[in-house]
Amino acid sequence: MTLGVEHFGDVAAPLVLCAGGTTMLSWPDALCDSLARAGRHVVRYDLCDSGASTTGDPEEPTYTLGDLAADAAALASELDDRPAHLAGIGVGGMVAQVAALDHPEAFSALTLVGTRPVAPGPVDDDLPDHDEATIGRLFSRSMPDWSDRDAVAEYAAGSADILGDDPAAARAVAARTWDRTPGALPAVHMANQLGTVFSRLDCGPRWRERLASLALPALVVHGRCDPFFPVGNGEALAREIPRARLLVLENASTVIPDAASSEVAAAMLEL
């Protein structure tokens, strides 16, 4: 297993490990730069089956959610002897939760962005599910020609418009994702971005009931306008994790806007 990583900041400074939900580009450059300017060593990385990390068959993943969590812990250990600040966004936030629970010695703080305390699939009664109208529009669209960079970028922009994110930013990130897809397999990465891989993973056992055992400082960040994981999911996470701080980004949806990067970075640094 090989992980694709990118470094920001001074390698001698305290480590902040940013684990992307799909490719590392789910973490905005502006946020990584803000953290690095504050003296942190920021490492964002690609999960298995995305970006520059080992790519297999996303239709039949040979690993589990627990394996992805172990990858995060192994990466933190490889990078520095000190425990890392682990951050996860979207489905990467699920990885981060399990990593912090299963490998507490590896991490000193936890940031969770736009995620929920249960695996993909049926949700608990107290958690708001995806907005049906939005998801219907999102997944009823015709898929693009994955070999056409411009078509993939436009598809991403259209999805962002439906979700309430910035289409121009989504277009640029999708183009960069396409460019760094090894072996000209953009479909693998976009499938992962759409949650296809996670829908096929073994994500058991449940971990929500274990969150109360977390003893590390935690920050939960959630967009007020998120229709995919509505904000009630972030509120539930903040209640479950002892002494967790909840930061709601009033004008954000599923991604961290560049305009909010300084605010999110400041909250992460307070941990």
In one letter, which amino acid is 250?
E
Q: What is the pLDDT of residue 89?
A: 94
Is residue 156 domain-resident? Answer: no
CATH value at residue 65: 3.40.50.1820
Whether 177 maps to a domain, the answer reads: no
How large is the greatest C-alpha to C-alpha distance in the chain, in angstroms? Answer: 48
Instruction: Say if residues 47 and 95 touch (Cβ distance below 8 Å).
Output: yes
CA 22/CA 190 separation, integer angstroms:
9
On whether the CB atoms of residues 91 and 98 are closer than 8 A, the answer is no
pTM above 0.75, yes or no: yes
The one-digit pLDDT tens for each residue of the chain (271 residues) are: 889 999 999 877 788 888 766 689 999 999 999 999 999 999 999 888 777 888 777 678 888 999 999 999 999 999 999 999 999 999 899 999 999 999 999 999 999 999 999 998 889 999 999 999 999 999 899 988 888 889 989 999 999 999 999 999 999 998 998 888 765 455 545 544 445 667 778 999 999 999 999 999 999 999 999 999 999 999 999 999 999 999 999 999 999 999 999 999 999 999 9
CA distance 73 to 173: 27
pLDDT at 116: 97
User: What's the confidence (pLDDT) of residue 187?
Assistant: 55
Residue 145 included in any domain: no
Closest CA relative to residue 25, chosen from 39, 40, 4, 10: 4
> Is residue 124 one of the residues assigned to a domain?
yes
Position 153 in a domain: no
Q: In terms of DSSP bridges, do strands 245-249 and 218-223 run parallel, antiparallel, or are they unpaired?
A: parallel
Number of neighbouring beta carbons within 10 Å of residue 108? 19
Q: What was the pLDDT predicted at 191?
A: 47
- What is the span of the domain harbouring residue 121? 5-129+184-270
Sequence-distant (≥ 6) Cβ neighbours of residue 30 within 8 angstroms: 258, 261
Q: How far apart are the C-alpha atoms of 16 and 42, rounded to whole Å? A: 5
Residue 168 falls inside a structural domain: no
Per-residue pLDDT, 41: 94
Task: Report the alpha-carbon distance of residue 83 to residue 73 in Å, rounded.
Answer: 9
Number of domains the chain is built from: 1
Distance between CA atoms of 109 and 86, rounded to whole angstroms?
A: 6
The answer to whether position 144 is within a domain reads no
Q: Is 28 contained in some domain?
A: yes
Over its C-alpha atoms, the chain yields an Rg (Å, rounded) of: 17
Reported as half-sphere exposure (CB side, CA atoms, 13 A), residue 193 has a value of 25
Q: Residue with structure tokens 């239709």?
A: 59
DSSP 3-state of 112: strand
